Structures are given as C-alpha cells and as structure tokens.
Structure 1
Amino acid sequence: MSESDVVVIGSANADLILEIDHRPRGGETILGSDLVVMPGGKGANQAVAAGRLGAGVAFIGCVGPDAYGQMLRTSLAEAGVDTGRLHVADLPSANAIILVTPDGENSIIVSPGANRRMTPELLDGCRATWAGAAIVVLQLEIPLDTVAHVATHAHRAGSRVLVNAAPAAMLDDEVLALCDPLVVNESEADFLVPGGTTGMSPAEMTDALLALGPLSVVVTLGAGGAVHAERGGDVVRTPAHRVQAVDTTGAGDAFVGALAAELAAGADLAGAVTLANEVAAVAVGRRGAQASYPWRAELGR
C-alpha cells in the first residue's frame, strides 16, 4: 500500500525558455530574449502543483546525471514532493524548448532524453510506491506501454487513475476505460474523438469523449474554463477566472496537479475542478511553470 496520497508518474524536463515577438515562419531567423532555464516536464510540474497545495505526493521519473537533473530534484523537494524514486538514468535529462509570444501563448518542442527510461520494468521495481495510492497520475511524455502497464495495475490495486492525455496520442480502449478522469484540452479532445470535434460544443465534446469509455472526463478550455462529466451524469461547465495571461506554460499541469490533490483529499469532481481552475488562473499570471504555481496559503483556503 502506498504511503502517498498522490503518486505522479511521468516526465521531468528542463525548460529552455525564449520570449519572441512572433513565431518564425519557414526559413525565417528572428532574435529572442536571453535563454532562461527552469524546471518543468508534465509529470514533475503536476507533482509540484499538488505538493504546493499540501498533498502527500511522490514523484516517479527519470533524470540524467547532470545539472538539469539536480535542478529538477531540488524543485520537487522544495514543494514537499517525495523524490526517493526519482531515478538517475544513462541519458541526459529531457529538455523542452519553449517559445513564448507577447500574448502569453507558447509553442513547445520536447527532447525526451531520460524520460525514455521510464519502462514497465523500472515501474515494477517500485510498485510499492504507487500501487494503492489514492490517486495515480499519468501523462504521455513517457512511453505509452508504461502508461498502460501502470494504469492497469494501479486500478487493480484500488487506486483512482487520472490520465492527462497530453501530448496527444492514441490510447487503447482498455486504458481509456480506467481513466477517472481523463483530462484533455480541446486539441487533445479533437485528436482522440473519431472524426474530430469540429463544430461540437464543449458539452458535445465531453459526451463524445465519455463514449470512448472513461469513467469521467475533464476538458480544459483555456480562457473558457473547463467542462466535466461522470459517466451517466450531466455535463457541468466551470467558468475561468478573469486574469491577464503572462505565460501559459505549465498552466494545464497546474490544473491537473490541483485536480489530483483535491480528489485525493476527498473532494468530488466538481469541487476539484473549481480549485484546479483557480490554481491555473494564478499560474498563467506568472512566468514559468513550476515557479508560477501557488501555495495553498496564497489561495486563502
């Protein structure tokens, strides 16, 4: 039985951030800001977001034997995350090249590096950490066979499995059936739904995702907030907070980490989505990913 409320299994990346005036066209060279390096990666981001909210969090991931790996370990530990299963692999730490435009939107390219070493065999070696946790959180920046393996065995051990299907990739029906919830943004929903979601309302999009088999679904809509539904229930929309976006990098991960923390604490899906929206709103008003995430005391809760 896991000693942690939330176990996040996923990627840890060094974010290499450049601010640019506009995204370059083919063949175009532009000047950007000085390079800023910050801790990131969907898995590590989500663990930090949950840890800052006071959840008991363990993170399982891989970093390289380099300065980036140490930076990632330090950031996780400072958020109160258990890093006892943060493995040092024989590859460099993963990098994410992030281009941020003046409107706060970003474009991201990930070089997987040590994340490739997140194999089913490695996860079997630390099963006691994740099997039976209240919430097991997965994303798709690690090998998909590892995601399927962990989701299956975590569910069998009694864990609630939250899958953030990002970056977009196809999931087996067996994995989709274990998601509680499946969390996606609009572009990821469009990828997963056969025939796409063009012309669908958020409610129709949510219903289409539920038809794929998950127990519950959450769709994030950026400035439009989020919609969620459980199998057999109504679709509920939660509006976003009105904020001036500075940098949207990692905002979706802030949402997922907060969602996991609240679900592990016993909140229902509606209550967890409400807090997750609040946390994401704080994150987009600050620069960077993990550094932008609020502590629970900042939320007045």
Structure 2
Amino acid sequence: MAANILVVGSLNMDLLIRVNELPKKGETLLGGPITEIPGGKGANQAVAISKMNTSVGILGSIGKDSYGNALLKSLEDHKVGTRYISRSDNKTGTAIVIVDEKGSNQIVVSPGANLDLTPELVFKNKKAIEEADIVVMQLEIPLETVHFTLELAKKMDKITILNPAPAIKLSEDILKNVDILIPNEHELKLLSNNWIEGAFNDPIKASCEELLEKKVKTIIVTLGEKGCFLMNGMDEQTFPAYKVDAVDTTGAGECFIGGFTSTYLKTMDLHDSIQSAIKASAISVTRSGAQNAMPTQKEVETFLC
C-alpha cells in the first residue's frame, strides 16, 4: 500500500548510557548499563508519524547485520512501510546516546550504512516519492542525497519538510526546495548569517527573515521549554510549550516532526499541526527512550483534556 508520507533518512541503533551528569571536556564518567534502542532521526520520525495513525514509509539503508534486522522489526511492529529500505554491505548506523538524570543528552552518530543512501538509490526508488503526498528529510544522510531528493520531490509537486539536524550550513540550492523548515535554535543559528544577539535585535526573527529571502516557504523554530516560533510570508507567531517533568529528551525533536507532519497531512493547517506537535513532544519527554516514547494520536488528542 502506498504511504501518504515518505521519510527519506537515517536508521540507527542507539546505544544508550545513563549518567548522573553529562561529561565535561576531557572527563571520564562511569555510567549505567548499555541499552540498545532502535533509532535514527529518520526512523524515529517515521514511527512518530505512524503512531499518529498516519500511513508512512521510509526510504533508507541498513546493514546486513543483527542491528539492521532489529531496526526492520521495530519499524514493522510500528506499522511503518519498509519496502524501500535497502541492505548494505556496510554496518548499520549506530549512535552513542548519553542521558543525564535531568533528561538532557549528548549524541554521537556513526552513520555506517546510512552513507549508502545515495542519489542513485533514491532515483532507483523514485516510485516511493511518486506515491507520497509529503516527503520528510533530515541530515544524517549524505547532503548530496538531501539536495537531490528535495529537488526531485518538488519536480513531482510534493510538499517537502526538512529538519536540518545535525546542524550544518545549507546552500540556497537546497533551501529553495524546502516548503517547511523545522530547525531548533542551535540549527537556526548555523543556517543564518543574521544571528546577532543584542538588546535591540531578535536573532530568531532576523534569521527567519533571511531564510525566507532564500525561498524557504515556512519556518518553524523549536525552542524547547519555550515552545516554538512560526514565520512565513503571511504569519508570525510564538506558540508556548506545555510544562512537564522531563525524563529523557531523546527523540523529542523527531516526535515534534511526527506530530506536525501527520496533522498537517490531514488538515493543511499550520496552527493545528504545531499544537499537535507541541503536545506530542511534551508527552514524549516524560518517557524514557525514543520510538517507544512516541505518543499515539489518542494520547495527543486527550493531552491535558
């Protein structure tokens, strides 16, 4: 069955270690036992979308190893379409995730088989894009693949959503093919040349204005406990976050993307979609892990009701 939303992105096995506090530069800490958790920004976003009762598939690359098998099973268990996942001779991507007792984290990713998600592989599987209404991407795969996929999706008149994480500079050739850009504050800072902090300057607004000039249609900046900021040619608004006791922020950004995208597919309303995204991410941080912490559509709809 064709998926209404296609995620083109990464699949990783997260190796989670809990510590009392995050390590400082040059510091060695003793942590708890290692827990293996299916992850990757692409896979997490796909699971978040699926749990919102929305048809979704993922185009990606994994290794022919036990981690790859586990990732496939997790996606299938969460009803994510896996027919466009390729198996590589390279090892499945992995991420070392360190989480402190306040829920804050540090993450280092070894891309592995994710680097085999090339433009050629995307073109070979272009039917996946043809079948979708919305194409979602992140930056844990080769940048040339991101560029190629966004361009191909726009040629097919698809809605494109880009989460520019991990944070890097992006060319105007990439940005002009993005309908909805969803960075966090750190990512926005790297994307912009207009980030100047001062009493008489709003760096978030100035940076968003710059990106709009580079042909991005809509920008939604996630601001953690401060909520998020929306700007496009017609609208400018801040949406407050919900106050919750955070246990683990791993996957919160992907959960926001999932909540937003699934609602946007159904309503095409930015405000409603942002509210769903804020609720979904608020629920997720009260739970441990990433994919298993993603809320269902019913949980989002009944949150604080």
Fold-level match, TM-score > 0.5?
yes
Q: TM-score category by the smaller chain?
A: over 0.9
* 2:123 maps to 1:121: no
SS in structure 1 opposite 2:244? Answer: coil
* 1:17-52 per-position Cα deviation (integer Å, ceiling 9, x unaligned): 111122223443211011111011000000000001
Whole-Å separation in 2 of the counterparts to 1:159 and 1:222:
29
Whole-Å separation in 1 of the counterparts to 2:61 and 2:292:
20
Task: Please name the residue that 1:164 is paired with.
Answer: 163
Q: Where do residues 129-168 of structure 1 align in structure 2 (5 Å cutoff)?
A: 129-131=128-130, 133-168=132-167
SS in structure 1 opposite 2:214? Answer: coil
Please say if residues 139 and 163 of structure 2, whose CA atoms lie closer than 8 Å, have aligned partners that are also in contact: yes
Q: Which residue identity lines up with residue 23 of structure 2 in the other structure? A: P
* 1:207-234 per-position Cα deviation (integer Å, ceiling 9, x unaligned): 343233201101000001111122x212
Whole-Å separation in 1 of the counterparts to 2:192 and 2:301:
38
Whole-Å separation in 2 of the counterparts to 1:241 and 1:131:
37
Structure 1 residues 216, 195: closer, same or farther in 2, change over 3 A? closer
Please say if residues 93 and 114 of structure 1, whose CA atoms lie closer than 8 Å, have aligned partners that are also in contact: yes
Unpaired segments ≥5 residues, structure 1:
none
Whole-Å separation in 1 of the counterparts to 2:197 and 2:63:
41
Is 60-69 or 275-284 further displaced after alignment? 60-69
RMSD, aligned α-carbons: 1.5
Shift in Å, 1:157: 0.3
SS in structure 2 opposite 1:108? Answer: strand
Whole-Å separation in 2 of the counterparts to 1:182 and 1:28:
36
Task: Please name the residue that 1:189 is paired with.
Answer: 188
SS in structure 2 opposite 1:84? Answer: coil
Structure 1 residues 92, 284: closer, same or farther in 2, change over 3 A? same
Whole-Å separation in 1 of the counterparts to 2:271 and 2:301:
19
Q: For 2:218, which of 216, 219, 243 is the aligned residue? A: 216
Query: In the comparison of the two structures, how many residue pairs are matched?
Result: 299
* 2:23 maps to 1:21: no
Shift in Å, 1:132: 5.2
SS in structure 2 opposite 1:206? Answer: helix
Shift in Å, 1:206: 3.0
Structure 1 residues 183, 29: closer, same or farther in 2, change over 3 A? same
Unpaired segments ≥5 residues, structure 2:
none
Please say if residues 186 and 219 of structure 1, whose CA atoms lie closer than 8 Å, have aligned partners that are also in contact: yes
* 1:46-74 per-position Cα deviation (integer Å, ceiling 9, x unaligned): 00000010111011111111111111111
Task: Please name the residue that 1:173 is paired with.
Answer: 172
Whole-Å separation in 2 of the counterparts to 1:83 and 1:184:
26
Whole-Å separation in 1 of the counterparts to 2:132 and 2:25:
47
Please say if residues 190 and 198 of structure 1, whose CA atoms lie closer than 8 Å, have aligned partners that are also in contact: no
Whole-Å separation in 1 of the counterparts to 2:235 and 2:296:
32
Whole-Å separation in 2 of the counterparts to 1:3 and 1:211:
35
Please say if residues 189 and 205 of structure 1, whose CA atoms lie closer than 8 Å, have aligned partners that are also in contact: yes
* 1:113-150 per-position Cα deviation (integer Å, ceiling 9, x unaligned): 00010000001111011135211001000000000001
**TM-score scaled to structure 1, two decimals?**
0.95
**TM-score scaled to structure 2, two decimals?**
0.94
Task: Please name the residue that 1:75 is paired with.
Answer: 74
* 1:185-206 per-position Cα deviation (integer Å, ceiling 9, x unaligned): 0000000101535343544443
Q: Which residue identity lines up with residue 63 of structure 2 in the other structure? A: G
